[in-house]
Amino acid sequence: MCSLKSVVLRKFISQRCFHTTQIRMIDPKTVEEIKIPVPWGHIAGKWWRKNEEQPVLALHGLFDNAATFDRLMPLLNENISVLALDMPGFGKSSNPPAGMSPNYLELIIWMRYLIKDYFKWKKANLLGHSFGSNLSFSYSGMFPDDVEKFISIDCSRFNMASKPEYLLDDLKRGYMGGVLKTLGIPYEGNYQQHLDHMYNSRAKTPFKLSKQFCELFLSRDLEKISEDVYRNTTDPRPHLKYMGRPTTSFLDALAGQIKCQMLVIRATGGVLVKHRKEMLEKQLSIISQHSPRLVCQVVEGGHHVHLENPERVAPIINKFFETYD
């Protein structure tokens, strides 16, 4: 469990309170591919156990897609319906119009449109990994009365937050680069070339993925254009600095607004280590003052622990819903 001051500890649930119950498998046949119309095309997604109940809205990490939850979803309890979306420019979702720069706040507006205008949900339940958790954190702080539960898996908000002294330069790079990036030609090649490209690109980062999981993401990233030739449809612009990114001080302010039930899952080999772990603990202390239930769990694994070791994550999420449904 994350170490916090004693005033915070009483709002946390100890690791011992979570026990591994028998996992009830979800039939993969209950997964439905969906498309949601938007002005620039559509948003694609996978709706797990679609029924009359409002689903949990699940958002993936940067340069991943909805397939990031494919191994976790079958391990969740039968009564948990989840809508995992490909964010704009990722997976099977349409890319934003050419010439536009990537804008963080526009993604919050996109979330707001889906939740309040398209689905007309009174309160949302959010599940986010990495960048998807970053967006869900911001949404929960900006619209605190409209979120019931927020489950965060190895959130990357401290990785992408702008320091005030670098904010202007980041904005300039994001703006100019957004125009130039959309003029480029999407990467094309045979399937093996795409697989090797993704595997080698991720191998250069601290968060490597096996080819097995790269193939999972490619299942939603590639468009066949001729015999054994595929085009990667992923929007290249998010490689740049997002315009409208929050600063660290703004993230602290958002933390002070969050008042939903919150489950924070941190991977031992993920992004929330060293100084970022300290920043997380500071914000959890802030959140604990307003959140009715705040749970922090640490699991062994890497940044994609929900994908690589879903059996470690699923019981925690199941227990959270069982206890606070």
Q: Does residue 92 sit in the same domain as residue 193?
A: no
Range of the domain at 197: 187-232
CATH of residue 295's domain is: 3.40.50.1820
d(CA 264, CA 31): 26
Residue 316 · residue 263 · CB < 8 Å: yes
| Two tokens, residue 177 | 């680069």
pTM of the predicted model as reported, rounded to 2 decimal places:
0.87
Annotated catalytic residue: which of 130, 133, 136, 291?
Answer: 130
Query: H or E element: which one contains 312?
Result: helix 310-324
- Is the CA virtual torsion 195, 201, 207, 208 positive or negative? positive
Measured in whole angstroms, how far is the alpha carbon of residue 256 from the centre of its chain? Answer: 21
Residues 96, 210: one domain? no
Q: For residues 204 and 265, state if they share a domain.
A: no
Residue 239 falls inside a structural domain? no
Q: Which of 271, 191, 270 is nearest to 199 (CA)?
A: 191
320 shares its domain with 223: no
Whether 93 is catalytic is: no
Say yes or no: 59 and 81 in one domain.
Answer: yes
Task: Characterize 39-49 residue by residue with b for buried, 16 or more Cβ atoms within 10 angstroms of its Cβ, and e for exposed.
Answer: eeeebbbbbbb
Provide the pLDDT for residue 179: 57
pLDDT of residue 304: 98
pLDDT reported for residue 177:
55
> One digit per residue, pLDDT tens: the chain, 325 residues?
454 433 333 333 333 333 333 334 445 568 999 999 999 999 999 999 998 889 999 999 999 999 999 999 999 999 999 999 999 999 999 998 877 777 888 999 999 999 999 999 999 999 999 999 999 999 999 999 999 999 999 999 988 776 666 666 766 665 555 555 555 678 899 999 999 999 999 999 888 999 999 999 999 999 999 999 999 999 887 766 666 778 888 999 999 999 999 999 999 999 998 888 999 999 999 999 999 999 999 999 999 999 999 999 999 999 999 997 6
Three state DSSP letters for 278-294: HHHHHHHHHHCCCCCCE
Q: Into how many domains does the chain fold?
A: 2
For residue 174, what pLDDT is reported?
59
Q: Is the dihedral of CA 194, 200, 201, 202 positive or negative?
A: positive
